[in-house]
Structure 1
Amino acid sequence: MSRIVVLGAGPMGLAAAHRAVALGHEVDLVEADSKVGGMAAHFDFSGTSIERYYHFVCKSDAPTFALMRELGIGDRMRWVDTSMAYYTQGKVHKWGDPFALLAYPHLTLIEKIRTGLQMFLTTKSRNFDSIEHLTSRQWIEGGSGSSVYAKLWKRLQELKFYEYADKVAASWIATRIKRIGNSRKSMFQERLGYIDGGSEILMEAIAEDIRRKGGRIHLGCKAEQVLVSDGRVTGVRAGGREFVADAVISTVPVQLVNALVPALPDESKAKYGAIDNIGVVCLLFKLRKSVSPHFWLNIVDDTIDIPGLIEFSNLRPVGPTIVYVPYYMPVTLPKWQISDQAFLDEAFGYIKRINPAISDGDLIDAQVGRLKYAQPICEPNFKDKLPPVQTPIAGLQIADTCYYYPEDRGVAESIRFGRMMAEAVPAGRV
Structure 2
Amino acid sequence: MHDSEADNRKHWAIVGGGMLGMTLAYRLAQRGQRVTLLEAAPTLGGLASAWRLGDVTWDRFYHVTLLSDTHLHALLAEIGVEESMRWVETKTGFYSGGELYSMSNSVEFLRFPPLTLAEKLRLGATIFYASKLKNWKSLEKVSVESWLRRHSGAGVFEKIWLPLLKAKLGDAYRDTSAAFIWAHINRMYAARRSGLKKEMFGYVPGGYAAILDRLAETLRGAGVRIECDAPVHEAVAAEQGGVRVTYGGEPPRRFDNVVFTTPTPVISRALPDLTAGERERFDGVRYLGIVCASLLLKKPISKYYVTNITDAWVPLTAVIEMTTIVDREELGGHALVYLPKYVPSDDPLFEESDGSLRERWIGTLEKMYPHFSRDDVQAFQVCRARSVMALPTLGYSERLPPLQTSIPGVYAVNSAHILKGNLNVNETVQVADEAIAGVLAPALAAGQSPTTPTRPTRGDDAQAARELIARP
Letter paired with 2:152: S
- Distance in 2 of aligned mates of 1:407 and 1:136: 15
Paired with 2:33 and 2:222, the residues of 1 have a C-alpha distance of 10
Matched, 1:65 2:73: yes
Secondary structure at 1:192's aligned position in 2? Answer: strand
Corresponding residue for 1:301? 311
Residue number in structure 2 paired with 1:139: 147
Distance (whole Å) between structure 2 residues aligned to residue 419 and residue 233 of structure 1: 23
**349, 360, 370: which one pairs with 2:363?**
349
Q: Which runs of 4+ in 1 moved over 4 A?
A: 230-233
Residues in 2 aligned to 1:86 and 1:137: alpha-carbon distance in whole angstroms = 21
Q: Distance in 1 between matches of 2:133 and 2:294?
A: 35
CA contact (8 A) 2:346 2:386 kept: no
Quick one: which of 286, 289, 298 aligns to 1:288?
298
Mean Cα deviation higher: 116-125 or 386-395: 116-125
Q: CA deviation at 1:316?
A: 1.6
Unaligned runs of 5+ in 2: 1-8, 449-472
Cα 1:167/1:232, change in 2 over 3 Å: farther
Q: Higher strand share goes to which structure?
A: 1
Match of 1:93 in 2: 101
The aligned residue for residue 245 of structure 2 is 236
Conserved 8 A contact 2:38-2:231: yes
- The separation in 2 between residues aligned to 1:60 and 1:232, in whole angstroms, is 43
Asked if the contact 2:318–2:341 (Cα under 8 Å) also holds between the matched residues in 1, the reply is no
Deviation at 1:418, TM superposition (A): 1.8
SS at match of 1:182: helix
1:256 equivalent in structure 2: 266
- What is the one-letter code of the residue matched to 2:349? K
Distance in 2 of aligned mates of 1:391 and 1:44? 39
* 2:290 and 2:341 in contact (8 A); partners too: yes
CA RMSD after TM alignment:
1.8
Greater mean deviation of Cα atoms: 419-428 or 5-14? 419-428
Aligned residue for 1:20, secondary structure, equals helix
3-state SS, counterpart of residue 174 of structure 2: helix
Question: 1:394: how far off?
Answer: 1.5
Give the structure-1-normalised TM-score.
0.95
State the one-letter code of the partner of 2:303. P
1:24-43 aligned at under 5 Å gives the runs 24-43=32-51
TM-score, normalisation: structure 2: 0.87
Distance in 2 (CA, whole Å) between partners of 1:7 and 1:258 is 13
Aligned partner of 1:393 in structure 2 is 407
CA offset digits 1:13-63 (Å, max 9, x no partner) = 000100011100110000011111111111111121211111111122111
- CA separation of 1:225 and 1:28: change in aligned 2, threshold 3 A: same
- Given that 1:2 and 1:427 are in contact with CA atoms closer than 8 Å, whether structure 2 keeps it comes out as no
CA contact (8 A) 1:224 1:260 kept: yes
- Secondary structure of 2:66's partner? coil
**Residues 127 and 62 of structure 1: CA distance in aligned 2, closer, same or farther (over 3 Å):** farther
Q: Within 1, Cα distance between the matches of 2:102 and 2:114?
A: 12
Counterpart contact for 2:140–2:393, Cα < 8 Å: no
Q: How far apart, CA to CA, are the structure 1 residues paired with 2:358 and 2:310?
A: 20
Letter in 2 for 1:294: Y
Shift in Å, 1:114: 0.8
Matched with 1:314 is 324
- Select which of 67, 71, 86 maps to 1:78: 86
Cα distance in structure 2, aligned partners of 1:127 and 1:301: 33
Distance 1:303 1:249, change over 3 A: same
